[in-house]
Amino acid sequence: MRVPAPAKLNRFLAVLGRRPDGFHELELVTTVLEDVPGLTDTLEGEPAAALSLALSGPMSEGLAVDESNLVLRAWRLLEREARRPLPAALRLEKRIPHGAGLGGGSSDAAAALKLGNELCGLGLAQADLLRLAAELGSDVPLFVLGGTVLGLGRGERVFPLRPVPLEPLLLVHPGLFVGTPSVYGALGSVGYPMPEACPSLAPGAPPPWRNDLAGAAVWVCPPLADGRAALLEAGGEPLLCGSGSCW
């Protein structure tokens, strides 16, 4: 079996405050970039004598193939749910850059949940997959849903929205890696943005472009500012993708 793992674009990302558990209260409107081959990982799997994962593709260099890998972590959750081993030979082709704010690892994890559920005939409902996805990371559930998604809480509470078409845009990857935990950790140093939720929208109206993490990301990774300056000089309106590094 083969399952696509597309990238995502947060077109609205508001940080509403810090929670007692250390996470941040968020409101997100995210579009899963389906049918963009250059920004889609591919996960393949077939029954085998033991569980294995092989990596390939232009963005696979430096990624670990051990129990910290999100694909294998997702598979272990399926084994826990099934209460039995699920031996399979998995192959992941990476095209989404790592640490770019495009959700590549989270999308791979969601693809593993979907593929394992079908390949092994587990019969898990979408609600079950969403529950497991939330254990893996805040961004994983939105990839289980796909399309245009509203994310609440730390992002793990997801709701499908009417499709919001994206206008033509240029996606720029500056070749930098930005760690998401470090960006959220820097919010306390940079200062929290005004906690404004998404305004009420008319039917079919798109949300505003916004990312409250941009200041903290540039503070953590100052070279990000060079890319933003170049895009501004070229007449663009740069918006950071998630916690970066793509504009």
Q: Are 132 and 78 in contact (CB under 8 A)?
A: yes
Give the Cα separation of 9 and 236 in Å (integer): 17
Count the neighbouring beta carbons within 10 Å of the beta carbon of residue 13: 25
Identify the three-state secondary structure at position 30. Answer: strand
Question: How many CA atoms lie less than 13 Å away from 200 in the CB half-sphere?
Answer: 0
Q: Which residues contact 135 (CB under 8 A, 6 or more apart)?
A: 77
At 106, list the tokens. Answer: 């989270």
Helix-helix angle 104-119:126-136, to 10 degrees: 140
139 is catalytic: yes
Q: Are 196 and 117 in contact (CB under 8 A)?
A: no
Given the structure tokens 């990982």, which residue do they identify? 41
For the chain, the straight-line distance linking the first and the last C-alpha, in angstroms and rounded, comes to 33
Q: Are 151 and 157 in contact (CB under 8 A)?
A: yes
Which is the catalytic residue, given 35, 139, 212, 226?
A: 139
Q: What is the DSSP string of 130-162?
A: HHHHHHH-TTHHHHHH-SEEEEETTTTEEEE--
Q: Are 94 and 59 in contact (CB under 8 A)?
A: yes
Residues β-bridged to residue 30 = 10, 149
8 is catalytic: yes
Residues with catalytic annotation? 8, 139
